[in-house]
């Protein structure tokens, strides 16, 4: 019995000591969280415009105070320029942007440019945040706003995007000549599958298109029949071939025969030629 009392007494003392320690406990102050800065590598990094700039964002985790950091550019080509090496975060601002500029005309076609913009100091660096914004890209097709007139299928004018090849040639791509809404608005059934119409202008202003086959499949059907552009050369139409030309600076005329259900040289057609106009003269 004495042993039981001793056990209860020891337990009571232990509980009392525990209660005392718990009541008297004062948590230590937490160390302040370090401010970290890193590159936002999810941002786009395209080399696709004349005299353009690439915006390179850097983000931070704490925004209670203003912050200044320095970044630098690593570029072996010498074509790119960092416009602002000093970045400033205002109070409450989580992102500051470095601006990288270049001249599109200075870029060499098919050359891969490897460069990066990086924090100049490790003071705000973290192993969990990228310290550099890397870029690896080639000269892209140049974007040119254009107006497209279709005299046959839609008989309408629409604003489009024209792409010019970066290889130095006068090769162009008219992006999405007909949208779903445009085709259906003209009573056609949109089928898709035509991302662009490509054509090339030679030194005399003559325009070629259609490749070796001379047939371009269109992205819609008419009364259940597939639709196509046939080059005038397949009809031995020399005048039609010659009419594929520049009408003026930045104004291209493409002449073709509209045909239906083309397959292995067999087709239905109206027996007449028509045309389209692509005008980017305002961009020159």
Answer CATH for 37-137 from 2.60.40.2030, 3.30.420.40, 2.60.40.790, 3.90.110.10:
2.60.40.2030
SS3 85: coil
- Please report which helix (H) or strand (E) contains residue 125, including its range: none
- Residue from 218, 281, 44, 245 nearest 140 by CA: 44
Q: What pLDDT score does 31 carry?
A: 46
Q: Write down the pLDDT at residue 42.
A: 87
**Would you list the domain boundaries of the chain?**
37-137, 142-283
Q: E-assigned strands of 120-250? A: 132-137, 142-150, 156-164, 171-175, 189-190, 196-201, 207-209, 215-222, 225-230, 245-248
The predicted structure's pLDDT at residue 1? 43
Query: What would the pLDDT profile of 125-135 be if each residue is shown by its tens digit?
Result: 998 999 999 99
Residue 257: closest CA among 232, 281, 282: 232
> pLDDT under 70 in the chain at which residues?
1-33, 46-51
Q: CA distances (Å), 11 to each of 2, 7, 50, 66, 155, in order? A: 14, 6, 83, 56, 97
pLDDT of residue 32: 52
Task: Give the global pTM.
Answer: 0.71
Which sign does the torsion angle of CA 61, 64, 65, 66 carry? positive
Question: How many angstroms separate the CA atoms of 54 and 44, rounded?
Answer: 8
Give me the pLDDT at residue 39, please.
95
Q: What is the pLDDT of residue 51?
A: 55
Phi, psi of 174 (to 5 degrees): -85, 115
pLDDT of 28 reads 54
Tens-place pLDDT, residues 152-173: 999 999 999 999 999 889 999 9
């Amino acid at each position: 019995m004495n042993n039981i009392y001793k056990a209860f007494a020891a337990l009571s003392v232990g509980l009392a000591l525990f209660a005392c320690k718990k009541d008297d406990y004062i948590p230590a102050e937490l160390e302040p969280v370090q401010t970290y800065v890193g590159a936002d590598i999810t941002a786009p990094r395209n080399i696709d415009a004349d005299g353009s700039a690439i915006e390179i964002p850097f983000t931070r985790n704490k925004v209670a105070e203003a912050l200044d950091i320095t970044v630098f550019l690593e570029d072996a080509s010498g074509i790119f320029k960092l416009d602002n090496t000093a970045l400033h975060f205002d109070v409450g601002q989580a992102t500051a942007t470095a601006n990288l500029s270049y001249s599109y005309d200075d870029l060499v076609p098919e050359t891969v440019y490897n460069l990066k913009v990086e924090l100049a100091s490790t003071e705000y660096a973290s192993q969990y945040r990228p310290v550099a914004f890397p870029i690896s890209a080639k000269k892209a097709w140049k974007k040119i706003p254009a107006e497209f007139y279709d005299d046959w299928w839609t008989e309408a004018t629409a604003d489009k995007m024209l792409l010019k090849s970066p290889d130095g040639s006068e090769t162009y791509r008219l992006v999405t000549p007909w949208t779903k809404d445009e085709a259906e608005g003209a009573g056609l059934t949109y089928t898709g599958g035509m991302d662009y119409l490509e054509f090339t202008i030679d030194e005399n202003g003559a325009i070629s298109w259609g490749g070796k086959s001379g047939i371009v499949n269109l992205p819609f059907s008419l009364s259940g029949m597939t639709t196509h552009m046939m080059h005038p050369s397949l009809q031995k139409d020399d005048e039609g071939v010659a009419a594929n030309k520049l009408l003026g600076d930045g104004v291209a005329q493409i002449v073709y025969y509209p045909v239906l259900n083309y397959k292995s040289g067999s087709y239905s057609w109206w027996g007449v030629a028509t045309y389209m106009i692509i005008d980017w003269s305002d961009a020159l």
